[in-house]
Structure 1
């Protein structure tokens, strides 16, 4: 028999840790090779960790909701296969005496009555089990916890942050009754904080808890509106030639490439070409500095089965021909629907495109995907009557048209750039050659 360590796999260059959301197997269960053992979640995406061997699960090293670093062993599988046997080594780190005392106190947390600490706050902040235990033991309120400036990834409060807060709280000088005594006039003139008005719920209403991803999306949207000065430009594009060309070549395309040719890769390729002409739309803002991105990484908003949206990213989109773009679009869209995206595949986007037309909308005003500075919404393609200009005069004809909506950050993108961008996109799409090959 050999012991095989199941480790938290590397999930992308910028992903250092994940939260265990659910164990799919219990100790004693038989596991087949490539069978999922545990579900994990990062700040962006949920995924599963499969087993690299067949065997029996004999030990689980982390409980549900625990935060695990990439590379850490999370479980042990006993296998009869010829694998390199490994043993689990626990690294002992000598910590300061005060830290050890706090951690000893945590073991007795169940005996201490304290304010309940939520895993995710109303503002969307996530708190690890250890941080919540320390907060509950030290009777730290959710309000105090929210005010702690986290030094962890994306502002997450770490063990060191909360221990420092506890130490500062204990060392703060105590005030006497005389010092806190407030004159009556001051009390009367001080405006009271208005309490939150509770939402009325009657017998016919249903209370639905927001999902973890839903809370993250909600926070991301509010943060974006508070960060960027949103402004929109709209333009109508005649895509009649593209519709005719796609109808003509889609069967041959599928026969040769084994991929369905939709309008999305055609439009994404045109967007990438437009960004190349206007690189100052491919930027991010860092304080009072502008970072001009070298790579054009197109985010492609995709709907999930639960109604939420996720944005997989097509890296170096300007370097792909139509076949390459089609394969990328189809692959990412298909895996997004079955929750099979890797964390690295939804990061480092520099510009986002969302297709509101897939839901029948003529146009939309999308919210910028931070830290980007612009986002494009594609409306539905419709047959409409249009004025057609010829050398022999104007006449009314039926054309295939669509609206595109361009939201951009007016702090760094002015109306001229925002308008010229979609005007150039219009020119590229309307000059589509009906006789070109794919």
Structure 2
């Protein structure tokens, strides 16, 4: 047996360090080549780091939550004589290149707990032995294969150079190559619509449904624990649960990811607060039940002091790094570099609502969910062709404004890690359903943190949908170095002035104007005032409104 060191590879283009979020193995565990051993978060994405060897984990040399420079040794393995020869440095160099290629291809979502990792290893060991050939598959596809009991080596890859995708794994499982399980993607809130009341998590519903586990394993009276066997949650969420002393499997949730219960940090904190309140109430009730003059026991004194400490708890601190820091730096650069001006207007879109309703079923027949966003993207691109300064970039060092000839629209997606902006390339060359399918795919993978770097680059204009969470108007920050961004408010019925044919009852000259309820879409356009004038912004918005109010005009684009 020989000891091999493994250094943290460059898991992203030019990344100097990463946060070791979660170990997926422990000392003494047997691992196979390409098996994920750790989850590392960089300023771009969360990725899994695969083992370069078949062997046994000897020692973990980094702590969870530690920032590790690229090139530092993070783990050692005991490997047999059949391990690759040629020196550890050459093996590590090859592994680093492979890890970088896989991480750039697809970043894996962080939704596995230590328990699920152990069960996955058990399933993998029970599955048929992998083939002898090299298997090219991203970490997310390997995770799915373990969950479905599929031999990854037996899957036929449909990707470039035979690369195995998640769809390949599912198809193999459904064809009898493994135990296929029902899955459901993350719940989507339609573009431009407010979430229903059932999707909003209030303190009342949280405290009523929240459960908790005391140190002895039983929840306090009045608090009901969910008691699931398996729960999906990001590593950061699991750290919060550990800090709060609660079990994520006990946190109530109605949200599903891939057919499994999913919880976020807000739910964990709400549940932990409910447990603390229940414990404090029990302690208070016990104190009131004590006979007068009785001295409290040491345990009760500790409980009282603990409750007092909770009431005056110290403020929470969260590390400002990784994706959150990158977002902050980007926003700061944009806000303090480009002078922002925001133009507000509203489109009355009854015809668009009717058109989308008519096409929605047709789209569903082709397995495409049709929201309002594809219509907005088509209208935006049509307007950009007429007002090119909004599809541009100011290159200050060269003293020139570049009017872009391609129309790559970024779509801002809210995720647990912050705002991600995947890009829909060449919108002007794609049909409505093709755009809809691509938007749905990008948004889903943004929430799962499985986008590649390339899919978030090259945008020329951005659309952000704050209306999905109930907003109406805002002042969105430009995705620098772009020169404009369009914000969409919530589509709702609001009072609007419209021409109504009253049969000549009110006016013999024709239709009269009346205030009626109509579907409206608030628009907020932020521009870089160094490049775009206010008049240009107004004309651009007017054109977008014209196309949205008359969706049949989009057929001409």
Query: Over residues 108-138 of structure 1, what are the superposed CA-to-partner deviations in whole Å (9 max), with x where a residue is unaligned?
Result: xxxxxxxxxxxxxxxxxxxxxxxxxxxxxxx
Gaps of 5+ in 2: 92-310, 502-509
1:15-54 paired onto structure 2 within 5 Å: 15-22=13-20, 23-26=23-26, 28-31=28-31, 35-50=35-50
| Structure 2 CA distance for partners of 1:241 and 1:379, relative to 1, 3 Å | same
Unaligned runs of 5+ in 1: 92-201
CA distance in 1, matches of 2:541, 2:533: 13
CA displacement at 1:207 relative to structure 2: 3.0
Provide the rounded CA distance (Å) in 2 between the counterparts of 1:17 and 1:351: 26
- Tell me the CA shift for residue 344 of structure 1: 2.3
Which of 314, 325, 345 matches 2:455? 345
Cα shift at 1:38: 2.7
Q: CA RMSD in A?
A: 3.7
Match of 1:284 in 2: 393
Kindly state the Cα deviation for residue 60 of structure 1 after the two structures are TM-superposed: 7.5
What SS does the corresponding residue of 2:88 show, helix, strand or coil? coil
Cα 1:77–1:318 shift into 2, 3 Å = farther
* Cα deviation code 1:157-203 (max 9, x no counterpart): xxxxxxxxxxxxxxxxxxxxxxxxxxxxxxxxxxxxxxxxxxxxx94
* Structure 1 counterpart SS, 2:552: coil
Q: Does 1:268 align with 2:270?
A: no
Distance 1:218 1:266, change over 3 A: same
Measured in 2, the distance between the counterparts of 1:425 and 1:6 equals: 52
C-alpha distance after superposition, 1:234-275 (max 9, x if no partner): 22112212211222221231221x221111222123222322
Distance 1:79 1:247 in 2: 61
Tell me if the contact between 1:31 and 1:54 (Cα under 8 Å) persists in the aligned partners: yes
**1:419 equivalent in structure 2:** 538
CA offset at residue 37 of structure 1?
Answer: 2.5
Change in Cα spacing, 1:389 to 1:346, as seen in structure 2 (3 Å) is: same
Equivalent position of 2:325 in the other structure: 215
Q: Is the 8 A contact 2:547 2:554 kept in 1?
A: no
Deviations, residues 339-364 of structure 1 (Å, cap 9, x unaligned) = 22222222232211110111111111
**Which of 340, 345, 348 is the equivalent residue of 1:230?**
340
Distance 1:271 1:210, change over 3 A: farther
Task: Return the TM-score normalized by structure 2.
Answer: 0.50
Query: Which residue does the alignment assign to 2:494?
Result: 384
Give the structure with the larger helix fraction: 2
Compute the TM-score of the two structures, normalised by the length of structure 1. 0.63
CA displacement at 1:291 relative to structure 2: 2.6
Change (3 A) 1:7 1:222: closer
How far apart are 1:402 and its partner, in Å? 0.9
Following superposition of structure 1 onto structure 2, how do residues 4-403 of structure 1 map, counting pairs within 5 Å?
Answer: 8=9, 11=12, 15-22=13-20, 23-26=23-26, 28-31=28-31, 35-50=35-50, 56-57=56-57, 65-68=67-70, 87-89=87-89, 203=312, 206-212=315-321, 213-256=323-366, 258-287=367-396, 288-305=399-416, 308-389=418-499, 392-396=510-514, 397-403=516-522
Partners of 1:375 and 1:234 in 2: how far apart? Answer: 12
